[in-house]
Structure formats: structure tokens, C-alpha cells
Amino acid sequence: MFYGYWAAAVTPFRHGRVDIASFERYIATLIEGGVQGLVVSGSTGEALALTREERAQLMKAATHQADTHIPVAAGIIAATTQEAVQQAQEAEKHRVTALLVVAPFYVKPSMEGLVAHFRAIHEATSLPIILYNNPTRTGMDIDFTLLERLTQLPRIVALKESSHHFARFSSWRTRLRKDFAFLAGDDDVAPAFLALGGQGVISVTANVAPKLCTAFYNAWVSADLETFARLRDRLAPLHKVLFVEPSPGPTKYALSTMGLIREEVRPPLLPLTDLGQMAVRRVLQDLRGE
């Protein structure tokens, strides 16, 4: 289940409200594009700007659209254990397949505090848990010592790795459970990540080019290295431009040019500048061969 390209879904807004109708149409295009999974109310989904009720709306819509086709993970982003447990329990009520749980941010707990945090979430739900390591945003690094302890919990099944030291996981793989999965958290390192033994990518780029991303992954799995290299180079400019300004602004703008959603974001994020829009349009035109 925890392999391939998962799209880290955006949250469409219309005049300040979550736009569920656009969200459903957009999710349908991702499923049609062949993504192997979805993440809703995560970082790319502006989770910290969402209310409890809005997160519930998104989870209901995503699981309804995905049905039995692909798994849906809910992002659990909280600074306290109490809030993380509450989010996880609410996500389970809405029939998501798994939880994507980031380390608590800002407070910088001890290792024992981190173990207790993840254990509390594990014991409060029955869902598989994907750990999310993003130290530049949380100030906490899930290193091997911590990961080894956490993987003793049977439903901690994967790690989304977004540190600058992603290559280290290649030396961890043989020291952990064989069924434990490693997923890249950044599109630009996906080729190297797969070559180092990773199982997949939780992707921003897959929102905009799901068919190309899944074709890229399938080329790797089938050892079609010529196609893999061609798609790697074709996707590279898109990976870069989707972070030309704070995410998910560029991704939302790209999706708006496709007629799927409005580009609206919630403060303190801002719509793309004219220069940012020009950069995104240029890459999309090149990608389409226009």
C-alpha cells in the first residue's frame, strides 16, 4: 500500500470557504491520473489554516472520491499530543486509510517526549501511521535512534523523509522491519531516493502532472531506465517552479490555469506575484510542448 506516487493534495478555497465541489473534481483528476494515494489536510493542504469542521469536510470528500480505488492519508499536524490525538481520532471516524503524523513543532520535546507523543497517537487509533520527518519546519529530526524505537510499534509503517540528509535512510533499511517503507517528501530528490531503495514519493508535483509522475515511477519499477531518465529531466523544471514562491501558491496557480480550482490561499500566504505566475506558465507551456 505504501509505495508509488501519493499526491499531497491542496485545499481549494472560494471566497474564503473550502470549495468542496472543486475539490471533488480535482481529486477525480488525480485518481484518473494514476496516483497511488492521497494525503489530505497536510502541509500542502494548508492544514494549519483549516478548522476542525473543514478538515472533516475534506476527509469525507476525499474518501468518498477515492472509494476503494486508492488509499487516503490524513495529515496530523499539531504541536501538542492532546491535539494530535484528537485529530487522529477524528480522522479515523472519517474512514481514512492512514495517518501522516509530523513531529510536534516549536516545543522541541526530548526523545522520551517524542516517543510518548507517537505512542499516544498509536494507542488512540487503529490506523497505520506514516511518520513525517521535516526538521526545517518542526525543529525536530527523526534520526535512527528515535526511528528504531518507534518502529517497535506495529502500526508505524513508513517514514516520509524531508530532511536534507535523506540518503542516510539507505543504511537504515536493513536494520528495520522488512515491511517498513521509506517515502521521499521532496520531488526533486525522488530519482535518487528511489535508486537508494525508497518505495515512493509523497508529491507536490503529482497534483499538476499525475500521469507523468506515475509514468516516471512505473518506468523505474519496470527498469525502463531510458524512459525514467527522460521523464526525470522533463519533470525537473516543474519540481523547481512549484516552490518559486511559498507553497502551495504556485501549485494552486498551476491548477487554476487548468480550470480545476481557484488559486486562492489563506493568509499569511499570498497569491502568486506576476513574476511567479509568469514562471509557472512558462514551465507548464514547455511541459505541454506549446
Catalytic sites, residue numbers: 132, 160
Give the residue from 26, 28, 31, 29 showing the smallest Cα distance to 45: 26
Phi, psi of 77 (to 5 degrees): -125, 105
237: left (phi over 0), alpha (psi -120 to 50) or beta: alpha
Cell readout for 56 is 472533516
| Side chain identity, residue 208 | V
Taking only Cα atoms into account, the Rg of the chain, rounded to an integer number of angstroms, comes to 18
For the chain, the three-class secondary structure string (H helix, E strand, C coil) is: CCCEEEEECCCCEECCEECHHHHHHHHHHHHHCCCCEEEECCCCCCHHHCCHHHHHHHHHHHHHHHCCCCCEEEEECCCCHHHHHHHHHHHHHCCCCEEEEECCCCCCCCHHHHHHHHHHHHHHCCCCEEEEECHHHHCCCCCHHHHHHHCCCCCEEEEEECCCCHHHHHHHHHHCCCCCEEEECCHHHHHHHHHCCCCEEEECHHHCCHHHHHHHHHHHHCCCHHHHHHHHHHHHHHHHHCCCCCCCHHHHHHHHHCCCCCCCCCCCCCCCCHHHHHHHHHHHHHHHCC
